[in-house]
């Protein structure tokens, strides 16, 4: 298990769950299969939900981002959409494990044919961690869950963002985490439906190229794009920086 997930105040031997946000969130994950790392934690941090808002987590997996957001922002209702039945099962168990089943609902379904229960135009925010690799540019891992999480299937990146547009209220916000080398694809897919774009580079260490970006945009707005200073994740010796610790351990929001 990665120390990015586990909190030293908790003993993993007493519980098979990983820990997020300094132990605020416990996360059951499949042994030997796909396992969430820090990306969904950053995604939840950059999703500036307010109490009373309704947020959709597209492709929720085991529920990591949905649960981190719900733990950080009380009175926010989060719906996680997940196509894989096994992943949706883990997400439901995790919501119950954290006592959040009243505010985190898991819906099984395909974003290309959204379940009617979601309701177009009914969400204040949509957050997503789409598969990072294009289907035509990657070999699919033998593990089906890892393949679905890492390589695009029938739904490509533009489909994910069209889905966000359909689900959002006017002026609603979409946030996503993705590979930095796909930023061109992200910006192209966001236009012309979204504006007021904000790009947050995640630097592995000072002086290194960003491998991940967080992107936020608003439906129907036309404000200019902004590139922020971003977040340096690790010190030279591999420890988390103070800025990363505030997000990963202390459940701080990532202010834009």
Structure tokens at 129: 């961690």
Q: Under DSSP, is residue 186 helix (H, G, I), strand (E, B) or coil?
A: helix
Structure tokens at 34: 């796909």
The per-residue pLDDT of the chain, averaged, comes to 91
**CA pair distance 157, 175, nearest whole angstrom:** 13
Cβ atoms of 234 and 244 closer than 8 Å: yes
**CA pair distance 61, 83, nearest whole angstrom:** 8
- pLDDT (0 to 100) of residue 11: 37
Q: pLDDT by residue (tens digit) across 176-199?
A: 999 999 999 999 999 989 999 999
**CA pair distance 168, 173, nearest whole angstrom:** 7
> Who's near 242: CB < 8 A, 6+ residues apart?
none
Q: pLDDT by residue (tens digit) across 103-140?
A: 999 999 999 999 999 999 999 999 999 999 887 776 67
> Who's near 11: CB < 8 A, 6+ residues apart?
none
Q: How far apart are the first and last CA of the chain?
A: 31
Q: What domains can you pick out in the chain, each with its CATH number? A: 12-248 (3.40.50.150)
**CA pair distance 178, 160, nearest whole angstrom:** 12
- pLDDT (0 to 100) of residue 138: 66
- pLDDT (0 to 100) of residue 147: 67
Check pLDDT > 60 for residue 4: no
Check pLDDT > 70 for residue 2: no
Give all strands (DSSP E) within 45-146, no chain letters: 54-58, 77-82, 104-108, 123-128
Nearest to 79 by CA among 171, 167, 186, 5: 167
- Alpha-helical (H) ranges within the chain are 39-46, 64-72, 85-97, 144-150, 157-167, 183-190, 242-248
- Ramachandran region, residue 70 (left: φ > 0; alpha: ψ -120 to 50; beta: rest): alpha
Q: Under DSSP, is residue 73 helix (H, G, I), strand (E, B) or coil?
A: coil
Running DSSP on this structure, what letter comes out for residue 122? -
**CA pair distance 6, 10, nearest whole angstrom:** 8
């Amino acid at each position: 298990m990665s120390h990015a997930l586990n909190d030293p105040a908790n003993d993993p031997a007493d519980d098979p769950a990983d820990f997020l946000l300094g132990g605020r969130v416990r996360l059951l994950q499949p042994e030997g299969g796909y396992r969430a790392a820090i990306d969904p934690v950053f995604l939840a941090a950059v999703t500036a939900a307010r109490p009373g808002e309704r947020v959709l987590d597209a492709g929720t997996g085991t529920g990591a981002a949905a649960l981190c957001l719900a733990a950080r922002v009380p009175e926010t209702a989060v719906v996680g959409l997940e196509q894989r039945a096994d992943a949706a099962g883990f997400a439901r168990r995790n919501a119950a494990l954290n006592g959040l089943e009243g505010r985190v609902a898991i819906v099984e379904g395909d974003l290309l044919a959204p379940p009617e229960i979601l309701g177009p135009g009914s969400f204040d925010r949509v957050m997503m961690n789409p598969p990072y690799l294009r289907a035509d540019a990657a070999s699919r891992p033998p593990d089906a869950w890892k393949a679905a999480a890492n390589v695009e299937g029938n739904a490509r990146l533009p489909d994910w963002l069209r889905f966000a547009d359909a689900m959002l209220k006017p002026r609603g916000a979409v946030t996503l985490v993705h590979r930095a080398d796909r930023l061109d694809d992200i910006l192209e897919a966001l236009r012309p439906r979204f504006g007021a774009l904000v790009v947050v580079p995640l630097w592995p260490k000072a002086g290194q190229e960003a491998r991940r970006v967080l992107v936020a945009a608003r439906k129907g707005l036309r404000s200019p794009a902004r590139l922020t200073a971003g977040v340096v994740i690790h010190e030279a010796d591999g420890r988390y920086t103070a800025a990363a610790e505030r997000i990963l351990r202390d459940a701080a929001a990532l202010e834009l």
